[in-house]
Structure 1
Amino acid sequence: MKTITMSEVNELSRRTGNSPMGVLTELIEQGYQLVEERPQPRGNPLASSKDALAQWKASKQKVADELYRNDPLVRELINVDNTYEGFGTQPQKSIIKRDEAGNIIGTTKSMLTGATQKEQAELMAAIRATYTQGE
């Protein structure tokens, strides 16, 4: 049995200039059977979880961008949120110098004249940790 889909009927109708119903009637008389079209998958098929995560992040960003453009309240909240992120805790700079293996090789300040008590305590803790690793 021969089959045909509605999109093929519409294409034949466009080519011949006949109405879709006329084309369909003629094809049924010739022994064709009309079948439903398989739904076409939307977008790209997902091959892995990384693809799914990337697609999710892209759609999330697209929605956020659209909301930012269209909603003044969302725009204000995102601006405030970005401002607060800028005030986040900055990483502390250590005065301890280390080599490639992580061993202490010196300090950036003099322990006698330039270092605060907190920096001196940090150095002593690092020295203690080095000695306890060797045990």
Structure 2
Amino acid sequence: MKTITMSDVNELARRTGNTPMGVLTELIEQGYQLTEEAPQPKGKPLSSAKDALSQWKESKQRIADEMYKGDPLVRQLMDADNAYKGFAPQSQKSILQRDEQGNVTGTSKSMLTGATMKEQAELMAAIRATYKQGDN
């Protein structure tokens, strides 16, 4: 039994100038059978979770860029979201170390040589708050 794929039929139709349906009908009359082509994988194959994550981020960014270019509403919303994120207060890591009850047990920097004035003020405020809790 002879087999042929649809891409072969399209190529023969292009070469001969006939329609793909006409070429397919003629081939079936000659004893050919149409078979399905194996789907070709798109993109590069994944070899690790890191590859999958990078492909996901890449496609996510590409889609966001396409939507930003093509849709004015998406553009406005993304611009507003970026502006909001720019004004949002940034979380700062504290140098204070606390126990389970929230009491200050130490610092991650030396108060004499490594801490900034702001960090020293943070420690003093925490010490004051601890003493005020003891008065109650």
- TM-score category by the smaller chain? 0.5 to 0.7
The alignment of Structure 1 onto Structure 2 pairs a total of residues equal to 112
Q: Letter of the aligned partner of 1:107 in structure 2?
A: T
**Relative to structure 1, is the Cα distance of residues 39 and 104 closer, same or farther in structure 2, using a 3 angstrom cutoff?**
same
Contact 2:6 2:37 in 1 (8 A): yes
Partner of 1:6: 6
CA distance in 2: counterparts of 1:73 and 1:18, whole angstroms: 47
1:9-42 per-position Cα deviation (integer Å, ceiling 9, x unaligned): 2212222334434433443344322212223333
Aligned-pair distance for 1:85?
A: 3.0
Q: Please, what is the CA RMSD of the aligned residues?
A: 3.9
1:35-114 equivalence runs, <5 A: 35-87=35-87, 88-89=89-90, 91=92, 104=110, 107=113
Give the one of 94, 118, 121 matched to 2:121.
118
1:27 pairs with 2:27? yes
TM-score w.r.t. length of structure 1: 0.54
Structure 1 unpaired stretches of 5+? 95-101, 123-135
Structure 2 unpaired stretches of 5+? 96-107, 126-136
Q: What percent of counterpart residues are identical? A: 61
Deviates further, 56-65 or 76-85: 76-85
**Relative to structure 1, is the Cα distance of residues 22 and 117 closer, same or farther in structure 2, using a 3 angstrom cutoff?**
closer
TM-score w.r.t. length of structure 2: 0.53
